[in-house]
Amino acid sequence: MKIWKPLLFLIIPTLALMLVACAGGASGDPAQTVERYLQAKVEGHEQTVRSLLCSEMEANTFQEVNAFTSVSGAHIEGMKCQWIEGSDVVTCEGKIVATYGAEETEFPLAAYRVVKEDGEWKWCGETAPPQ
């Protein structure tokens, strides 16, 4: 019985931390959602793109998934996204770089709207950055 008391002092706080971490993970981080979405879009990962799109954007799934299929070497450089707390906006720095034929083209990352649906943050298109 004596061994259980010290173990309980370790187990209970550990379980509490795990529950807090899981609760935070359930709602997610809006900036991480945008980063995951952009990476999946560039890589053409349909399932991930579909899972991160807000319901308002579902009709655009095909265009979003196939946005970079006609280019080569599409990748993201210097991506850093930050949620503007209390808003529905995530602003990102960095760029998407893709090669069209022999020409390299850069698409600067911008500001994106996010919404919470079913307890999860979802990407919901580009938006104007807040003033």
Strand partners, 113: 89
Decide: 41 and 52 in contact? Cβ < 8 Å.
no
**Which CATH number fits the domain that encloses residue 96?**
3.10.450.100
Number of structural domains, the chain?
1
Q: Give which of 73, 72, 43, 41 is closest to 57, Cα–Cα.
A: 41
According to DSSP, residue 23 is labeled H
Domain for residue 94, yes or no? yes
Model pLDDT, residue 130: 78
Q: What is the pLDDT of residues 4-36, one digit of tens each?
A: 444 334 333 333 333 333 333 336 899 999 999
Give the domain range for residue 37: 28-127
Integer Cα distance of 106 and 7 in angstroms:
55
pLDDT confidence tier of residue 3, bands split at 50, 70 and 90 = low
Burial class (CB in 10 A: 0-12, 13-18, 19+), 40: buried
Q: Is residue 9 a part of any domain in this protein?
A: no
Instruction: Give helix then strand counts, H and E, for the chain.
Output: 4, 5
